[in-house]
Amino acid sequence: MKHRCPICKNPTDSEKDADFPFCGERCRVRDLGNWATEKYVVSEPIFNEDDLVDKDEKTIILELDNPNESEHER
């Protein structure tokens, strides 16, 4: 797949560049640094964490005779 490096805009190729989609290690590390210094941020959460709280939580406990044995081996 051909693409352009998101940092320097040089052409990159997924079949040739080990650091794809970056052109090389320098641009890959710069991108990581941008995330680490919060230059890049996710603007909004994908989901509302309050919606995940289930007030009627249910716990399921599975009892296994031999956890290393699968059904196919019986």
Mapping DSSP to helix (H, G, I), strand (E, B) and coil, where does residue 49 land? Answer: helix
Instruction: Please tell me the predicted confidence (pLDDT) of residue 42.
Output: 79
Spell out the domain ranges in the chain: 1-42
Instruction: Please tell me the predicted confidence (pLDDT) of residue 65.
Output: 73
CB 34 within 8 A of CB 40: yes
Instruction: Please tell me the predicted confidence (pLDDT) of residue 53.
Output: 65
User: What's the CA gap between 31 and 37, in Å, rounded?
Assistant: 10
CATH 3.30.160.270 fits 1-42, yes or no: no
Model confidence pTM above 0.85: no
For the stretch 22-58, what's the b/e string if a residue is b when 16 or more beta carbons lie within 10 angstroms of its beta carbon? bbeeebbeebeeeeeeeeeeeeeeeeeeeeeeeeeee
User: What's the CA gap between 10 and 4, in Å, rounded?
Assistant: 5
Percent of the chain residues topping a pLDDT of 90: 47
